[in-house]
Amino acid sequence: MTLDELVGQKLVLGISEARVTPETIALFRKTHAGGLILFKRNFESAEGLRKLISDLETALGRRLLVMVDHEGGRVFHFREGATVFPDAQALGVSGRVDWARKQGEIEGEELRRLGVDLNLAPVLDVLSKAWNPAIGTRSYGKDPETVGLLGRARIEGMQSKGLSACAKHYPGLGEAELDPHTELPVIRKSLKVLKQTHLPPFLKAFEAKVDCVMSSHPVYSEVESDSRRPATFSRKIIHDLLRLELGFQGVALTDDLKMGAVSKTVSLREAAPLAAKAGHDLLLVCSDPKAQEEAFDSLVWAYKKKDLSSKELEESVERIERLKEKRKERFSEGTPLPARDGKELARQIARRGAEALCDGRGLLPLSPAWCLKHSVLAIFPDLSGVARERFVEPELLTPHDFLRRLFSQFGATLGKVEMIPTDPDEKERLRVKELARGEDLIFLFLWDAHAARGARELLKLLQNSLERLVVFLLREPSDFEWIEPKSACITAYGYRTCQIEAAVEKLFSAA
């Protein structure tokens, strides 16, 4: 390979279209990029996705490494061809290692039929704080042993079906108080604490021979002496600790270099060489063709100037090639459809994960007969804005029929269903208060009181003015911090339909 071709193998690019365009082909030819990362914006249908991958590879005349963030729960991009599993924290509540392995097997079968080589999952971050803006329900929970066992089992399941897995976000993002998508977190924990709490799940992943590890962007100020150097640029963390001390021999990749944690530190032109020098094999640049070309140009220039090691470049490309060689065919056999047993497993995980967190006035379990005799109002967030970036199940975009059918399954009637913004302003909050005034019982499906002040103020308003209120925590179970003891509160650790179904079942079955 030429230097340009070697450098290109280190780049993973995202594209903005669901079809191959001349501009996309030109970008991949110019940068010689070896990887493609997929998002919701690239998906119109299962067959359309397969065509996109095939058309791009045919135009380039070479094989790409195709990957996607397919964590389940809130991070899910394909609306066809794959089972919609609950968030990891729901599985963490159950602790069922066999379910984790089975989920991995199903994901392996489904994603390989769609043409995916690498799933950027599971998340092995250990939650150390009640609210973590970057991770939350993406984590299996607070116990390193549980996180490690579930993560290892899921990795084994995926890789047994020919799908590479990726443990993330090394060396652990559970302590972060800021979201690296937008800010630069600083984690002030010693290497000893990291080894005690945050690294054990990754060691379990190494036992499973996980193919890849993704690093995280925070500064680990007690490990890396430079207070502005995130782990992404730390040779001490990526090369010395990960490679030499912990013995990881697979492919190491960055998180997206376009994230705010990076852009608030250095330019992308500087970021790509710094990430390579730290010891990463693959560099993710998930958007912006101009930035993607800049990353390529800066890497080529750094290798030409001998700022970066040619020997390490060749070793990286060898690791990447070994990863690609694990799959001889682009698509595994079978029609790209959800696995037959996937939906039932998702329901089992969701049911086990549903919990009643408090019930100050003794409303739970609620009697369906009581609902038949009283006026009940459900308040549900308008998720159309969320759906622009993330996959939202169609039932939740117009939830009226979905919720009424769901309640009827338990012999209960649901009167009105009122949709409100995820961050309602004062006018909207007062409107909801007036609607609630004449009702006997209110169900508030709360989106995210930590991130949305309007949601927090609405919660406070309803708790102060209502006698009977049941709050369902959808996106953030840590919103329990804002729940008063007199309220009833239920969570299933996520907002997928199977989790909402499990939460409503909990409403009628047990306190």
Instruction: State the catalytic residues.
Output: 181, 255
Report the amino acid identity of residue 243: R
Under 8 Å between Cβ of 202 and 238: no
**SS in 3 state form for 433-466?**
HHHHHCCCEEEEEECCCCCCHHHHHHHHHHHHHC
Among the listed residues 344, 364, 361, the one whose alpha carbon sits nearest the alpha carbon of residue 352: 344
> Do β-strands 416-420 and 376-381 pair in parallel, antiparallel, or remain unpaired?
parallel
How many CB atoms lie under 10 A from the CB of residue 277? 18
- For 71-121, strand residue ranges (E) read 118-119
Question: In sequence order, which residues have a C-beta less than 8 Å from that of residue 370 and are 6 or more positions away?
Answer: none
Cα angle vertex 397, ends 395, 402, to 5°? 35
- Answer yes or no: are the C-beta atoms of 28 and 58 closer than 8 Å: no
Please give the Cα distance from 148 to 153 (Å, whole number).
Answer: 8
Torsion over CA of 179, 182, 187 and 191, rounded to 10 degrees? 90
Count of other CB atoms within 10 angstroms of residue 310: 12
Which residues are CB-contacts of 277 (< 8 A; sequence separation ≥ 6)? 233, 235, 302, 307, 308
What is residue 124's three-state secondary structure?
coil
Contact of 282 with 254, CB cutoff 8 Å: yes
Q: DSSP letters along 380-435, please?
A: EE--TTGGGTS---HHHHSHHHHHHHHHHTTT----EEEEE-SS--HHHHHHHHHH
CA distance 230 to 285: 17
**289, 23 Cβ separation under 8 angstroms:** yes
Q: What angle do CA 390, 149, 275 make, to 5 degrees?
A: 55
Q: Which two tokens stand for residue 151?
A: 């993560």
Side-chain half-sphere CA neighbours of 226 within 13 A: 12
- In angstroms, rounded to a whole number, what is the distance separating the alpha carbons of residues 385 and 91? 27
Q: Which three-class secondary structure state does DSSP give residue 231? A: helix
